[in-house]
């Protein structure tokens, strides 16, 4: 999430009641998660296991639960609960409507048709010659390109599935990101595409999605991908260009699929995959799988 205008380190520290380490005039441009964070942004960390990763990430401000040595050129915000305070910063600078107020600041391009039963949130942009079917829900801050088709009962911009457990209850990390649908994308019936926590969930230009597909927060789908029914992609995945995912493929959080790859039906992904064709619960190379099957069948 990028602030509408740059903030000062002391301003953010005062907002959340945290100690700061660094110049009080240190510039803060926004917030982000570790996998998408950029220079000038805040990233939070609340476990020693991830301190080093956060401190040496692209982030220049680290919201952390313990005072540690601060890398040169960076600043710290020391909080007793970084998760809570990350939410506090995000919701201070991005208002959460959740369809409780009438829409405003919606831009709709020439030639676009939106069925009267569709529900559109606030600060939404929709391009030219786009077709939106009955009962589609488009969440706040969504950006939809030209020549897009979104079929019935699809939901764009639902909350990210991102929780921690505190005192036996689940505590949500509030999503202030959005969904971006690029030009010439087609999305089938009953799909759900979650908005990013602090950044964008992106469907690349020319990609086609079948019915009943789930795409998690902050995932980036490349250009001209083909995704069949009942595929489930967790958050923070990177899918390259011209990737084909056949029915019931499942991809765990944070994995990357190289451009041009093909994942056959029911393939499971728990690691990054180089370009190739894969099958099976643990994404086995298809040619290797076939050779193994031949050997097994020839056993006597």
pTM, to two decimals: 0.94
Residues 155-170 have pLDDT tens digits of 999 999 999 999 999 9
Across the chain, what does the average pLDDT equal? 96
Does any domain span residue 284?
no
Does any domain span residue 240?
yes
Same domain, 51 and 139: no
Per-residue pLDDT band for 295 (boundaries 50, 70, 90) equals: confident
Per-residue pLDDT band for 102 (boundaries 50, 70, 90) equals: confident
The active-site residue, picked from 56, 92, 115, 217, is 217
DSSP E strands, 152-199: 155-158, 163-166, 169-172, 178-181, 186-187, 192-194
- Distance, C-alpha 147 to centroid of its chain: 23
Q: What is the token pair recorded at 232? A: 């489930």
Count up the domains in the chain and report the number. Answer: 2
Does any domain span residue 141?
yes
Same domain, 64 and 145: no
Radius of gyration for the alpha carbons in the chain, expressed in angstroms and rounded: 21
104 is catalytic: no
d(CA 300, CA 294): 12
Same domain, 82 and 111: no
Residues 217-266 have pLDDT tens digits of 999 999 999 999 999 999 999 999 999 999 999 999 999 999 999 999 99
d(CA 144, CA 120): 12
Does any domain span residue 85?
yes
Does any domain span residue 101?
no
Give the structural domain span for 128: 107-278
Same domain, 210 and 130: yes
Phi/psi of residue 292, nearest 5 degrees: -65, -40
Same domain, 88 and 113: no
Does any domain span residue 175?
yes
CATH number at residue 216: 2.160.10.10
CATH number at residue 23: 3.40.1390.10
The predicted pLDDT at position 57 comes to 96
Does any domain span residue 31?
yes
Residues 13-52 have pLDDT tens digits of 999 999 999 999 999 999 999 999 999 999 999 999 999 9
């Amino acid at each position: 999430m990028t602030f509408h205008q740059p903030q000062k380190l002391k301003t953010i520290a005062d907002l959340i009641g945290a100690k700061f380490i660094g110049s009080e005039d240190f510039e803060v441009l926004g917030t982000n998660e570790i996998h998408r964070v950029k220079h000038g942004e805040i990233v939070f960390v609340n476990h020693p296991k991830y301190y080093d990763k956060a401190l040496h990430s692209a982030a220049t401000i680290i919201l952390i639960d313990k005072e540690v040595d601060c890398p040169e050129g960076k600043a710290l915000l020391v909080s007793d609960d970084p998760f809570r305070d990350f939410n506090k910063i995000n919701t201070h600078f991005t208002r959460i409507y959740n369809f409780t107020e009438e829409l405003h600041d919606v831009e709709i391009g020439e030639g676009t048709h939106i069925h009267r039963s569709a529900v559109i949130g606030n600060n939404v942009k929709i391009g030219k010659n786009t077709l939106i079917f009955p009962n589609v829900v488009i969440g706040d801050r969504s950006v939809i390109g030209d020549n897009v088709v979104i079929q019935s009962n699809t939901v764009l911009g639902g909350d990210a599935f991102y929780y921690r457990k505190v005192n036996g209850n689940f505590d949500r990390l509030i999503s202030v990101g959005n969904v971006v649908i690029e030009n010439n994308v087609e999305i089938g019936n009953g799909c759900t595409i979650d908005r990013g926590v602090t950044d964008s969930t992106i469907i690349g230009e020319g990609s086609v999605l079948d019915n009943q597909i789930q795409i998690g927060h902050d995932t980036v789908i490349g250009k001209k991908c083909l995704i069949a029914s009942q595929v489930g992609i967790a958050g923070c995945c990177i899918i390259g260009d011209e990737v084909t995912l056949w029915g019931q493929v499942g991809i765990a959080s944070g994995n990357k699929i190289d451009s041009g790859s093909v994942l056959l039906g029911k393939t499971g992904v728990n690691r990054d995959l180089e370009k190739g064709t894969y099958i099976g619960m643990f994404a086995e190379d298809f040619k290797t799988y076939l050779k193994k099957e031949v050997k097994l069948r020839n056993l006597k």
